[in-house]
Amino acid sequence: MSGVRHFVHQPRGNLRRYVREILWVCSERSRVQVLLPETTLTLVLRQSGSASLCNESLPHAVISGLQSRARLVEHGTDSSLAIVRFTEVGASVFVGDRVDQLYNRTAPLDSVLRRQEIDDIQNALTDIRELQQRFLAMECFLTDRIRTRWFPSQAILPQIEAATEMIRRSEGRSSIAAIARHTAMSQSALERHFRIAVGVTPKKLSRLFRLQHVCRLWNAGKTLTDIAFEAGYCDQPHMVRDFRLFAGISPEEFFRNSLTLNLPIFYK
């Protein structure tokens, strides 16, 4: 990823329950990036440069729900972005609404936040020069938002948090029946509450985790045969078919292209 610089910040304290990491991404040259579906919602504040998603211009602040297919984003020259990757359950507290309504959508951030809140953090980031202080300003922004939006009816159910953790630990290989038993919930109740808090059903989130595991194994130098076995597929053709549903092309075709990818696997 020549010309692209990534800086990764792990949030402190209680914020870690809601935010997995905050990124700062800078690029001097224009570039096209493949956005593979992630397991979490993302928030993007663009400080400089332009961007378009599927040939449509993006506003300077957006929130993106979970996605079912890979997408292409074009970044203009001198691009600078702050990116928030929530935890699987964190975005629902930040947004204060059902995050399943953002499924397969990338929406202007002012559709869920007041315009003044967005302007305040954008102006603060512009005034700060030191990167670590920018990260701390983002932490304050996120913490204040979660504190002001939280109320008991929006509390994260511990069963749903346990379910997402089980899916994460198993790289998407746990069965829905096993997850339901682990959380002491019926499958119908699990799916209903899970969709509201996470944005998709447990089965769909498991498929997203398995996709990321495939990417991680490829990046580690594994063959497609080994990847299929280690990711829990019954055979390689099954894994290839599943990958095509997300990316539109086979894994081998996908990974051999020269476009930069969005997943943390590829920049850490």
* DSSP sequence for 76-107: -SSEEEEEEEE-TTHHHHHHTS-GGGGTT-EE
- The set of long-range contacts for 54-58, using a CB threshold of 8 Å and a minimum separation of 24, is 58/106
Residue with tokens 């224009």: 30
Question: The tokens 């939006």 sit on which residue?
Answer: 149
φ and ψ at residue 160, rounded to 5 degrees: -75, -40
Three-state SS for 259? coil
Q: Burial code of 171-181, b = ≥16 C-beta within 10 A, e = fewer?
A: bbbbebeebbe
Q: E strands, the chain, where? A: 4-9, 19-27, 31-35, 42-48, 51-53, 56-57, 61-64, 71-75, 79-86, 106-108, 260-261
> What's the pLDDT score for residue 264?
60
Collect all residues with Cβ–Cβ distance below 8 Å to 203 and sequence separation of at least 6: 176
Give the pLDDT confidence score for residue 150 in this predicted structure. 55
Q: Going from the N-terminus, what domains does the chain have, and what CATH number goes with each?
A: 4-152 (2.60.120), 158-261 (1.10.10.60)
CA distance 68 to 90: 20
Q: pLDDT digit of tens for each residue in the chain (268 aa)?
A: 457 888 999 999 999 999 999 999 999 999 888 889 999 999 999 999 999 998 899 999 999 999 999 999 999 999 999 999 999 999 999 987 789 999 999 999 999 999 999 999 999 999 999 999 999 999 999 999 887 665 544 578 899 999 999 999 999 999 999 999 999 999 999 999 999 999 999 999 999 999 999 988 988 899 999 999 999 999 999 999 999 999 888 988 888 876 666 666 554 4
Q: Could you give the CA distance from residue 96 to residue 104 in angstroms, rounded to a whole number?
A: 18
